[in-house]
Amino acid sequence: MESQYVELPENAWYRRLALEYALIQENEPTFTPVENDLTHYEGVIIGSGEYEGGFFRVEIIIPRSYPYFPPDVIWHTRIWHPNFSDSVPARVCESIFKDHWSPSLRIVAVIESLRNLLTNPNPEDPLNPVAAFEYKNRPDLFYARVRQFVETYATPEQAFGKKRWKGL
């Protein structure tokens, strides 16, 4: 059985992109369109909780099938977390990108979900089984490795680029 490709009519698509842009500008000032393309954003999520002090570079690509299908999220900063693969770019295990996606969700909700995942890991649905094991059974090792990864890979210079960071 072939899946049916669904997309908004062109005028509605452009209105939705404009709305997403306005919401991102209002709520997520660290995210900007790449080369003025409203279907491609790059930004930084500032860590909280155990990831405090970390700057995580993220790319969001909005497919033409949006909002019926979720955007693609590319996590560029290496991270030690049960719900992120230990690779660059990392894959993200988040249910709103798969099972719980709804056309009523906005890109700002995607960014907020990523931010929330940092403070609320779910070791029961891991992409990194070693991190999940440590989180559940050896939190001392887990949190030490989180700090090591934040200090090594999630610096502002790496997230923003050395030239851009010095200019901020």
pLDDT by residue for the chain (168 residues), tens only, comes to 344 668 999 999 999 999 999 999 999 999 999 999 999 999 999 999 999 999 999 999 999 999 999 999 999 999 999 999 999 999 998 776 777 899 999 999 999 999 999 999 999 989 999 999 999 999 999 999 999 999 999 999 999 886 555 444
Beta-ladder partners of 93? none
Phi and psi dihedrals of 87, rounded to 5?
-150, 170
Torsion of CA 42, 44, 45, 48, to 10 degrees: 170
Note down the domain range covering 66.
25-159
Tokens of 61: 């690509």
Contacts of 47 (CB under 8 A, 6+ apart): 53, 54, 55, 56, 118, 150, 154
* In a domain? residue 10: no
Q: Which CATH number goes with the domain that contains 42?
A: 3.10.110.10
Catalytic residue list: 93
* Total domains present in the chain: 1
* In a domain? residue 115: yes
Global model pTM greater than 0.85: yes
* In a domain? residue 13: no
Let me know: does 89 contact 70? Beta carbons within 8 Å: no
* In a domain? residue 104: yes
